[in-house]
Amino acid sequence: MPGRTPGRSLRIPLVCFLVLLPLNIPWSQISVTWLGVVHFLACLSPQLGSVVYHLFMNLEGGEPVYHTLLKLDVCGICMINTLGALPIVYITLFCYPWVRTVSLLIYILLSTHAVYCAVTARSSVRRLRSFAWQALFRFSFFLLRWVGVGCGSPTSLRHFLMMDALAVLGGVINITRIPERFRPGLFDYWCNSHQIMHVLVVGSILYLHWGVLDDLLWINSYDCPSN
Protein backbone atom coordinates (compact mmCIF):
# COMPACT_ATOMS: atom_id res chain seq x y z
CA MET A 1 0.00 0.00 0.00
CA PRO A 2 1.50 3.39 -0.96
CA GLY A 3 2.30 5.49 2.05
CA ARG A 4 3.59 2.82 4.44
CA THR A 5 7.23 3.21 3.50
CA PRO A 6 7.40 7.02 4.03
CA GLY A 7 6.76 6.51 7.77
CA ARG A 8 10.18 4.93 8.07
CA SER A 9 12.04 7.33 5.82
CA LEU A 10 10.44 10.39 7.46
CA ARG A 11 12.04 9.57 10.80
CA ILE A 12 15.44 10.48 9.36
CA PRO A 13 14.60 14.11 8.47
CA LEU A 14 12.65 14.43 11.76
CA VAL A 15 15.73 13.44 13.79
CA CYS A 16 17.96 15.64 11.63
CA PHE A 17 15.71 18.69 12.06
CA LEU A 18 15.28 18.00 15.78
CA VAL A 19 18.99 17.64 16.52
CA LEU A 20 20.88 19.56 13.83
CA LEU A 21 18.60 22.56 13.22
CA PRO A 22 19.07 24.15 16.68
CA LEU A 23 22.82 23.74 16.26
CA ASN A 24 22.66 25.43 12.86
CA ILE A 25 20.87 28.52 14.19
CA PRO A 26 23.38 31.13 15.47
CA TRP A 27 21.42 32.03 18.59
CA SER A 28 24.08 34.40 19.92
CA GLN A 29 23.87 36.47 16.71
CA ILE A 30 20.07 36.73 16.60
CA SER A 31 18.73 39.98 18.03
CA VAL A 32 15.07 38.85 18.08
CA THR A 33 15.21 35.46 19.80
CA TRP A 34 11.54 34.53 19.42
CA LEU A 35 11.91 34.56 15.64
CA GLY A 36 14.51 31.80 15.91
CA VAL A 37 12.27 29.76 18.24
CA VAL A 38 9.24 30.15 15.97
CA HIS A 39 11.34 29.21 12.96
CA PHE A 40 12.60 26.02 14.65
CA LEU A 41 9.05 24.96 15.60
CA ALA A 42 7.87 25.69 12.05
CA CYS A 43 10.53 23.47 10.48
CA LEU A 44 9.91 20.65 12.97
CA SER A 45 6.11 20.54 12.93
CA PRO A 46 5.39 18.99 9.48
CA GLN A 47 7.95 16.23 10.03
CA LEU A 48 6.52 15.43 13.46
CA GLY A 49 2.94 15.37 12.19
CA SER A 50 3.82 13.14 9.23
CA VAL A 51 5.78 10.66 11.35
CA VAL A 52 2.91 10.28 13.84
CA TYR A 53 0.42 9.90 10.97
CA HIS A 54 2.39 7.23 9.12
CA LEU A 55 3.45 5.43 12.29
CA PHE A 56 -0.10 4.81 13.53
CA MET A 57 -2.17 4.92 10.32
CA ASN A 58 -2.39 1.11 10.14
CA LEU A 59 -3.99 0.72 13.57
CA GLU A 60 -7.29 -1.15 13.44
CA GLY A 61 -9.31 1.74 14.80
CA GLY A 62 -11.43 2.34 11.77
CA GLU A 63 -12.22 5.57 9.98
CA PRO A 64 -12.39 7.82 13.09
CA VAL A 65 -8.82 6.96 14.11
CA TYR A 66 -7.54 7.44 10.57
CA HIS A 67 -9.16 10.86 10.22
CA THR A 68 -7.77 11.93 13.61
CA LEU A 69 -4.26 10.99 12.48
CA LEU A 70 -4.81 12.74 9.16
CA LYS A 71 -5.79 15.92 11.02
CA LEU A 72 -2.53 15.74 13.00
CA ASP A 73 -0.63 15.48 9.74
CA VAL A 74 -2.54 18.43 8.29
CA CYS A 75 -1.92 20.45 11.48
CA GLY A 76 1.81 19.98 10.94
CA ILE A 77 1.48 21.50 7.47
CA CYS A 78 -0.65 24.31 8.90
CA MET A 79 2.01 25.11 11.49
CA ILE A 80 4.80 25.51 8.97
CA ASN A 81 2.55 27.71 6.85
CA THR A 82 1.66 29.83 9.89
CA LEU A 83 4.80 29.89 12.03
CA GLY A 84 7.14 29.72 9.06
CA ALA A 85 5.83 32.98 7.61
CA LEU A 86 5.99 35.04 10.81
CA PRO A 87 9.74 35.80 10.50
CA ILE A 88 9.20 36.69 6.83
CA VAL A 89 6.42 39.17 7.69
CA TYR A 90 8.37 40.59 10.64
CA ILE A 91 11.57 41.22 8.71
CA THR A 92 9.86 42.49 5.54
CA LEU A 93 8.19 45.20 7.64
CA PHE A 94 11.17 45.63 9.95
CA CYS A 95 11.21 49.41 9.49
CA TYR A 96 7.44 49.82 9.91
CA PRO A 97 6.66 48.63 13.48
CA TRP A 98 2.96 49.57 13.55
CA VAL A 99 2.20 48.09 10.13
CA ARG A 100 4.27 45.04 11.08
CA THR A 101 2.19 44.38 14.19
CA VAL A 102 -1.10 44.71 12.30
CA SER A 103 0.15 42.46 9.50
CA LEU A 104 1.25 39.77 11.95
CA LEU A 105 -2.16 39.81 13.62
CA ILE A 106 -3.96 39.63 10.27
CA TYR A 107 -1.82 36.72 9.16
CA ILE A 108 -2.43 34.83 12.41
CA LEU A 109 -6.21 35.32 12.04
CA LEU A 110 -6.05 34.30 8.39
CA SER A 111 -4.03 31.23 9.33
CA THR A 112 -6.53 30.26 12.03
CA HIS A 113 -9.25 30.18 9.38
CA ALA A 114 -6.97 28.22 7.04
CA VAL A 115 -6.32 25.63 9.76
CA TYR A 116 -10.05 25.15 10.29
CA CYS A 117 -10.67 24.78 6.55
CA ALA A 118 -7.78 22.34 6.14
CA VAL A 119 -8.72 19.98 9.00
CA THR A 120 -12.38 19.92 7.95
CA ALA A 121 -11.72 19.52 4.20
CA ARG A 122 -13.22 16.37 2.67
CA SER A 123 -10.77 16.04 -0.22
CA SER A 124 -7.10 16.60 -1.00
CA VAL A 125 -7.97 19.35 -3.49
CA ARG A 126 -9.97 21.32 -0.91
CA ARG A 127 -7.23 20.75 1.64
CA LEU A 128 -4.62 22.22 -0.69
CA ARG A 129 -6.97 25.07 -1.56
CA SER A 130 -7.23 25.95 2.16
CA PHE A 131 -3.67 27.28 2.08
CA ALA A 132 -4.24 29.52 -0.95
CA TRP A 133 -4.88 32.72 1.03
CA GLN A 134 -1.80 32.15 3.15
CA ALA A 135 0.26 31.67 0.01
CA LEU A 136 -1.13 34.86 -1.55
CA PHE A 137 -0.44 36.78 1.66
CA ARG A 138 3.16 35.59 1.69
CA PHE A 139 3.57 36.33 -2.00
CA SER A 140 2.46 39.94 -1.41
CA PHE A 141 5.39 40.31 0.96
CA PHE A 142 7.72 38.80 -1.61
CA LEU A 143 6.50 41.50 -4.01
CA LEU A 144 7.23 44.19 -1.41
CA ARG A 145 10.80 42.95 -1.19
CA TRP A 146 11.15 42.67 -4.94
CA VAL A 147 10.07 46.30 -5.53
CA GLY A 148 12.32 47.53 -2.72
CA VAL A 149 9.62 48.63 -0.27
CA GLY A 150 10.11 45.75 2.16
CA CYS A 151 13.27 44.86 4.02
CA GLY A 152 15.24 41.63 3.97
CA SER A 153 18.47 39.98 2.99
CA PRO A 154 19.31 40.30 -0.73
CA THR A 155 19.75 36.52 -0.90
CA SER A 156 16.67 35.38 1.04
CA LEU A 157 13.97 36.14 -1.53
CA ARG A 158 15.13 33.50 -4.00
CA HIS A 159 15.16 30.95 -1.16
CA PHE A 160 11.56 31.79 -0.25
CA LEU A 161 10.40 31.61 -3.86
CA MET A 162 12.02 28.20 -4.25
CA MET A 163 10.43 27.15 -0.95
CA ASP A 164 6.91 27.87 -2.19
CA ALA A 165 7.61 26.44 -5.64
CA LEU A 166 8.70 23.08 -4.17
CA ALA A 167 5.75 23.03 -1.75
CA VAL A 168 3.20 23.70 -4.50
CA LEU A 169 4.84 21.15 -6.81
CA GLY A 170 4.73 18.54 -4.05
CA GLY A 171 1.06 19.23 -3.38
CA VAL A 172 0.14 18.99 -7.06
CA ILE A 173 2.07 15.73 -7.51
CA ASN A 174 0.38 14.23 -4.44
CA ILE A 175 -3.10 15.19 -5.66
CA THR A 176 -2.61 14.05 -9.25
CA ARG A 177 -1.03 10.74 -8.15
CA ILE A 178 1.84 10.96 -10.60
CA PRO A 179 3.53 8.63 -11.59
CA GLU A 180 1.45 5.70 -10.22
CA ARG A 181 -1.70 6.72 -12.09
CA PHE A 182 0.08 5.81 -15.36
CA ARG A 183 1.48 2.47 -14.11
CA PRO A 184 -0.75 1.13 -11.29
CA GLY A 185 1.08 -1.22 -8.95
CA LEU A 186 4.58 -0.37 -10.14
CA PHE A 187 5.18 2.40 -7.59
CA ASP A 188 3.40 0.91 -4.58
CA TYR A 189 6.53 0.86 -2.42
CA TRP A 190 9.01 3.29 -3.98
CA CYS A 191 8.88 6.52 -5.99
CA ASN A 192 5.13 7.01 -5.66
CA SER A 193 3.59 10.48 -5.55
CA HIS A 194 3.32 10.55 -1.77
CA GLN A 195 7.00 9.81 -1.32
CA ILE A 196 7.96 12.38 -3.96
CA MET A 197 5.79 14.94 -2.16
CA HIS A 198 7.59 14.29 1.13
CA VAL A 199 11.02 14.70 -0.51
CA LEU A 200 9.92 18.01 -2.02
CA VAL A 201 8.53 19.15 1.33
CA VAL A 202 11.87 18.47 3.02
CA GLY A 203 13.57 20.50 0.29
CA SER A 204 11.03 23.27 0.80
CA ILE A 205 11.78 23.37 4.54
CA LEU A 206 15.50 23.60 3.85
CA TYR A 207 14.95 26.60 1.57
CA LEU A 208 12.78 28.20 4.25
CA HIS A 209 15.58 27.68 6.77
CA TRP A 210 18.25 29.15 4.52
CA GLY A 211 16.11 32.18 3.74
CA VAL A 212 15.12 32.90 7.35
CA LEU A 213 18.70 32.38 8.50
CA ASP A 214 19.90 34.96 5.97
CA ASP A 215 17.25 37.42 7.20
CA LEU A 216 17.96 36.90 10.91
CA LEU A 217 21.65 37.61 10.41
CA TRP A 218 20.96 40.49 8.02
CA ILE A 219 18.85 42.57 10.46
CA ASN A 220 21.77 42.72 12.90
CA SER A 221 23.69 44.96 10.51
CA TYR A 222 20.78 46.88 8.99
CA ASP A 223 19.71 50.36 10.10
CA CYS A 224 16.32 51.62 8.97
CA PRO A 225 16.29 54.96 7.13
CA SER A 226 15.75 57.87 9.53
CA ASN A 227 12.95 59.35 7.43
pLDDT of the residue at 90: 95
pLDDT of the residue at 85: 92
pLDDT of the residue at 3: 42
pLDDT of the residue at 51: 76
CA distances from 173 to 54, 113, 128, 224 (A): 19, 25, 12, 42
- Extents of the domains making up the chain: 5-218
pLDDT of the residue at 220: 85
pLDDT along the chain (227 residues), means of 10: 49 80 89 92 85 71 71 80 92 94 92 84 77 86 91 93 90 83 76 85 92 92 79
pLDDT of the residue at 1: 41
